[in-house]
């Protein structure tokens, strides 16, 4: 009989928590016991996993007894409070929040980029920010080949990054605008339907220099994951009226030339990266075609002749999967594989 593992999903009723459960099932992860945890108000709700009905339990300090792997996606404050209890109970916590990402004692992992860091964990492994994950997947092979000096990234982030209520708000507000009706929003500070918000308001406050917390995450996390503090990174993060799938315009400057052909070759050989780059056939990554896919897609590859050696890329991935649930389950898979 093959070995199974006791798994807890914290935040099981949220958008990412539900994707974690679905990904565990899609990947046929060897789940023996599954414990679904959420807030007191969600306790008692039902959820299906592999054809079996489970009852959501209230998250408590003693919720992790007997658990080997705990997947967290219930907000940073929840992780800060309950991850230590999971670790104390003997579980490895894979945390999808920003709570531990920049802790020097906690590995920040994208399995295609720095898989060996998984085994440096002391009970906690951090899942990076969704926008960072898809970008570093593409940066890694180019950095290995030509050493990246500078990255300028602008993101076009789907509303699902702000949760299920944000998705509902976009749909309802879009309907209201089309019907020329008033809509009272509760998630976004401005209309999101038919608009773009040049700040990700759900990610935290404004930091030094006017950068948002989301932008600072991308800057700091990229350096940590890539293991190279010399890479200069600047970011502008924008929320757009898309349900699933973050898109990014990424401009890089390298120490030596990377031709378009070489970039395509390097990226096509990279695990879980798919090159879609034939503009004459209108083939390039799209949010709607990346939705519900595990891979990250890259296209619109062009040399940038405004610098000595530069490259432009368009990168798209499902923010709920590779940007969150799939990256976490992928870490768990590599963890149990040793």
> Is 319 one of the annotated binding-site residues?
yes
Catalytic residue among 130, 143, 190, 237: 130
Helices of type H across the chain = 15-26, 76-88, 130-146, 164-178, 213-226, 260-268, 287-290, 326-337
> Is 16 one of the annotated binding-site residues?
yes
Taking the C-alpha atoms of residue 264 and residue 106, their distance in angstroms, rounded to an integer, is 33
Q: Is 190 a catalytic residue?
A: no
Structure tokens at 20: 């974690």
> Is 239 one of the annotated binding-site residues?
yes
Structure tokens at 100: 């531990």
Taking the C-alpha atoms of residue 288 and residue 181, their distance in angstroms, rounded to an integer, is 27
Q: How far is CA 297 from CA 126, 193, 246, 273, 309, in A?
A: 23, 25, 11, 6, 23
Number of helices and strands in the chain (H, E): 8, 14
Taking the C-alpha atoms of residue 293 and residue 322, their distance in angstroms, rounded to an integer, is 8
Structure tokens at 70: 């705990």
> Is 199 one of the annotated binding-site residues?
no
> Is 32 one of the annotated binding-site residues?
no
> What is the distance between the terminal CA atoms of the chain, rounded to a whole angstrom?
19
> Is 158 one of the annotated binding-site residues?
no
Taking the C-alpha atoms of residue 147 and residue 257, their distance in angstroms, rounded to an integer, is 10
Q: Is 130 a catalytic residue?
A: yes
Contact (CB, 8 A) for 246 and 316: yes
Structure tokens at 268: 């096509």
> Is 74 one of the annotated binding-site residues?
no
Contact (CB, 8 A) for 83 and 109: no
Q: What is the DSSP letter of 270?
A: S
Catalytic residue among 143, 190, 237, 246: 246
Q: Which residues are annotated as a binding site for substrate?
A: 157, 239
Q: Which residues are annotated as a binding site for NADP(+)?
A: 13-16, 41-42, 160-161, 319
Q: Which residues are annotated as a binding site for phosphate?
A: 101
**Residues labelled catalytic:** 130, 246
Q: Which residues are annotated as a binding site?
A: 13-16, 41-42, 101, 157, 160-161, 239, 319
């Amino acid at each position: 009989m093959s070995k199974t593992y006791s798994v807890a999903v914290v935040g099981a009723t949220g958008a990412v928590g539900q994707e974690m459960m679905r990904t565990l099932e899609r990947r046929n992860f060897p789940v023996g016991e599954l414990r679904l945890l959420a807030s007191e108000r969600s306790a008692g709700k039902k959820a299906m996993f592999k054809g079996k009905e489970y009852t959501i339990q209230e998250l408590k300090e003693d919720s992790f007894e007997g658990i080997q792997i705990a997947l967290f996606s219930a907000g940073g404050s929840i992780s800060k409070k309950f991850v230590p209890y999971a670790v104390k109970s003997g579980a490895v916590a894979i945390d999808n929040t920003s709570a531990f990402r920049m802790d020097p004692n906690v590995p920040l992992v994208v399995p295609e980029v720095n898989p060996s860091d998984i085994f440096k964990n002391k009970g906690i492994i951090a899942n990076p920010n969704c926008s960072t994950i898809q970008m570093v997947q593409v940066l890694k092979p180019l950095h290995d080949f030509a050493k990246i000096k500078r990255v300028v990234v602008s993101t076009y982030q789907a509303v699902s990054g702000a949760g299920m209520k944000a998705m509902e708000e976009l749909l309802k507000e879009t309907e209201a605008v089309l019907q020329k009706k008033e809509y009272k929003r509760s998630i976004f500070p401005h209309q999101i339907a038919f608009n773009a918000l040049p700040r990700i308001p759900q990610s935290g406050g404004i930091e030094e220099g006017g950068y948002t917390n989301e932008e600072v995450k991308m800057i700091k996390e990229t350096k940590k994951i890539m293991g190279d503090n010399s890479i200069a990174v600047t970011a502008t993060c924008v929320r757009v009226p898309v349900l699933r799938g973050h898109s990014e315009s990424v401009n890089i400057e390298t120490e030596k030339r990377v031709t378009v052909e070489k970039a395509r070759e390097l990226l096509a050989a990279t695990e879980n990266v798919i090159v879609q780059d034939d503009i004459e056939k209108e083939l390039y990554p799209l949010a709607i075609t990346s939705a519900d896919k595990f891979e990250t897609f890259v296209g619109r590859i062009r040399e940038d002749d405004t610098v000595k050696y530069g490259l432009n890329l368009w990168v798209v991935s499902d923010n709920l999967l590779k940007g969150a649930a799939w990256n976490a389950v992928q870490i768990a898979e590599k963890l149990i594989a040793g």
